[in-house]
Structure 1
Amino acid sequence: MKSTKETSSTKEQLLQTAMELMLAKGFTAVTVDEICEKTGVTKGGFFHYFESKEDLGKAVLEYYWQSQVQMVQEMPFHSIKDPLKRLHGFLDSFADRARDPQITKSCLIGNFSQELSSTYPGIRTLCDRKFSLFADMLKQILDEAKQMYAPRSRFDTRGLAEHFIAIFQGALILSKAKQDTKVIEENIRHFRQYVETLFKRGRK
């Protein structure tokens, strides 16, 4: 019988491999056989951890989300006290990642949303939930900035947070079509400039 540590290690290996393959090829194109071959896990072993490929997809999405949360938590902007400057730091951190050639310019949540929304409603719901959590994260910074600075125009911070998600996800798609990651950086810059117009320089 495998120990708890060995079981956890095998499951994480399956999740990591599946995540990498699905980021590169999509959910549908990746087979259970391919994942088993790359990890050295038998098909019976695979189904010990996951009841179905859909079950795997949900687990991979959660695994990916946790990795992204950790990535955001490690970004340096959190130490900035001024919320507007912290927002700029948030955007700059994402722009820096767009410039880093070692980082994959893809989002599993966005990819799954496009590929699986009409065929796997459970996965679509999970994608929506993760986007909502990300919007909450950004909304908190925007709320603090709105409290400290008098906005030049009335705006909904939740809507603005979702606007960034739409811009970022669209930029990822466009960068793939153009094979140019500068598209991501440019769109983040445009969003930052737009946000600047919403706030006055002086505090309330």
Structure 2
Amino acid sequence: MELTNRQKQAMTTKRKLLYTAYELIREQGYPALTIRRLCEKSGVSTGAFYHHYSSKEDLIAQGFASYDVVLTEFLESYEEPDPVKAIRHIVLSLNQYIYDNGAQFAKELYISQLSIKDSYITRKDRSYYLAVLNYVEQAMDQGLFHSTMNAGGITDFLLRVGRGTILDWCLHDYAYDLMEQSARDLDFLLDNLTAGRG
């Protein structure tokens, strides 16, 4: 189904606000982010902001949703015959998205997810979860994973490891390379799941 011009405009406005917020957070920190400053810098009216978001916390909380939009677009043309490699790529791509938007963004994104009742980050209907689950099921069907857990359990475990590395990075005041550590943690887990493969 093709989007209407109005829907496309709404998506453009939301992305503009979100990415301008990321920029302001990187430059000045989250406490300095105000809706007025955000609207001025992005060229979006305050009314348009409140049409899409209820608060700046709501805007930041939707950071993972914006990643899912990008992931969905990417997966439309992604071809990887090895489901284990596909899982690695997708899980690391989220951590790369967090890293690329800066340490302050990661911190505020996690704070926002902890402070709202329906945390988007753990939803099982989001594109990120469903993509990893799909490849986990493929890996299990092909006999590549050796585990007593079912596909949902393995997917939950993989995503906990990914989130845990980001949180640990924040707790250690960003003192190490997030992507190097994320790859090491994920590779350790995948190596154990595929032990005896081939």
TM-score higher than 0.5 = yes
Per-residue CA shift, 1:63-117, capped at 9, x if unaligned?
A: 332123334x1685x341xxxx2212431565588789x94477x79963x3134
CA distance in 2, matches of 1:116, 1:95: 21
1:158 to 1:31, Cα distance in 2 relative to 1, 3 A: same
1:92 to 1:159, Cα distance in 2 relative to 1, 3 A: same
User: SS state of the match for residue 137, structure 1?
Assistant: helix
Q: Is the 8 A contact 2:162 2:186 kept in 1?
A: yes
Per-residue CA shift, 1:109-138, capped at 9, x if unaligned?
A: 9963x313453214x2x3322686533322
1:29 to 1:67, Cα distance in 2 relative to 1, 3 A: farther
Q: What percent identity do the matched residue pairs reach? A: 17
Indicate whether 1:149 and 2:143 are aligned.
yes
* Deviation for aligned residue 1:7: 4.9
Among 155, 164, 170, the alignment partner of 2:164 is 170
CA distance in 2, matches of 1:121, 1:173: 19
* Deviation for aligned residue 1:168: 1.2
- Aligned residue runs from structure 1 range 1-204, under 5 A: 4=6, 7-8=9-10, 9-21=12-24, 25=29, 30-53=33-56, 55-57=58-60, 60-71=63-74, 73=75, 76=78, 78-80=79-81, 85-92=82-89, 103-104=100-101, 112=109, 114-117=110-113, 119-122=115-118, 124=119, 126-129=120-123, 133-149=127-143, 152-176=146-170, 177=172, 178-181=175-178, 182-197=180-195, 200-201=197-198
CA distance in 2, matches of 1:96, 1:7: 27
Q: Is the 8 A contact 1:15 1:60 kept in 2?
A: yes
Q: What one-letter code is carried by the residue in structure 2 that aligns with 1:186?
A: R
User: SS state of the match for residue 190, structure 2?
Assistant: helix
* Deviation for aligned residue 1:59: 5.1
Structure 2 residue runs of 5 or longer lacking an equivalent are: none
TM-score (norm 2): 0.67
Q: Is the 8 A contact 2:92 2:182 kept in 1?
A: yes
Structure 1 residue runs of 5 or longer lacking an equivalent are: none
Q: What one-letter code is carried by the residue in structure 2 that aligns with 1:33?
A: R
CA distance in 1, matches of 2:95, 2:136: 22
1:142 to 1:111, Cα distance in 2 relative to 1, 3 A: farther
TM-score (norm 1): 0.65
For these two proteins, the number of residue pairs brought into alignment is 187
Q: How large is the RMSD of aligned CA atoms in angstroms? A: 4.1
Question: For the pair shown, which has the larger CA radius of gyration, 1 or 2?
Answer: 1
CA distance in 1, matches of 2:131, 2:101: 22
Q: Is the 8 A contact 1:105 1:172 kept in 2?
A: no
* Deviation for aligned residue 1:44: 3.9
